[in-house]
Amino acid sequence: MRHQNRVKKMNRTKSHRRALFMNLANALFDHESIKTTNPKAMELKKVADRLITLAKRKDLHSLRLAFAFLRDKKVVRKLFSDIGDRYAAISGGYTRVVKIGLRKGDAAPMAIIELTQKKEPEKEKEKGKAKEKKEAKPPKSEKPVKEKKEKAPAKKKAAPKKEAAAGEEPKPKRTRKPKAEKKAEETPEGTQDA
């Protein structure tokens, strides 16, 4: 019997609903906090909690079941290596849904769904350790850097200028006149521009 085994159909077919929750779960495990509509968040909470429970078991069968749903190796790897370890001592309550009001465009109720245990900021710790290591090491001996010889840019050979023959004056260079002057020259003096 299927007593009270109903699912919220969310006006989608089974395959569409499965694809929707696959994408939402991938985003949730990748970013650890996402914003979506409240009904989607409440249904995603069930899906995500089941996947985290699989990750806590850490066996091959669980890994394959999680991959069959998520279809993303990077996310499954993170789920089993990082997220599953965070919740090893906890038996439930892996995600939380926080309502944040209505969406501006269509007044849909929005919510943020996030993992309850955040990842510790390891990057800051690693940066601190890296700085200590750099300070502890003595500076390397400076080696003289060989400078590359710079080649002078090749000069273009100018064409020889034609000298004016004896008795001839050189031609003056042509210069452009502004358009206003050209129009003034072209129009007869007696007529006016319209």
More confident residue, 62 or 185: 62
**Can you give the pTM of this predicted structure?**
0.62
pLDDT digits (tens, 9 = 90+) for 110-164: 999 999 998 877 666 666 666 666 666 555 555 555 666 666 666 666 655 555 5
| Beta-carbon contacts of residue 21 (< 8 Å; ≥ 6 apart) | 43, 44, 47
Report yes or no: 103 and 94 within 8 Å, Cβ to Cβ.
no
Residue 153 domain flag: no
Rounded percentage of the chain residues whose pLDDT exceeds 70: 64
Helix (H, G, I), strand (E, B) or coil at 40: helix
Mean pLDDT of 1-14: 92
Residue 93 domain flag: yes
How many domains, in total, are found in the chain?
1
Mean pLDDT, the chain, as a whole number?
Answer: 83
* pLDDT at residue number 175: 73
* pLDDT at residue number 5: 87
DSSP string, 95-118: EEEEEEEE-TTT--EEEEEEESSP
| Beta-carbon contacts of residue 51 (< 8 Å; ≥ 6 apart) | 25, 29, 66, 69, 70, 79
* pLDDT at residue number 2: 86
Out of 62-76, 92-106, 123-137, 152-166, least confident range: 152-166
* pLDDT at residue number 155: 63
Residue 114 domain flag: yes
Query: How many Å apart are CA 194 and CA 191, to the nearest integer?
Result: 9
Mean pLDDT of 63-90: 97
Query: How many Å apart are CA 117 and CA 95, to the nearest integer?
Result: 8
Rounded percentage of the chain residues whose pLDDT exceeds 90: 57
**From the CB of residue 63, how many other CB atoms can be counted at a distance below 10 Å?**
17
More confident residue, 13 or 189: 13
Residue 178 domain flag: no
H-state helical runs in 32-172: 38-57, 60-70, 73-78, 84-86, 122-136
Segments forming the whole domain that contains residue 104 = 14-120
CATH code of the domain in which 70 resides: 3.90.1030.10
More confident residue, 158 or 174: 174
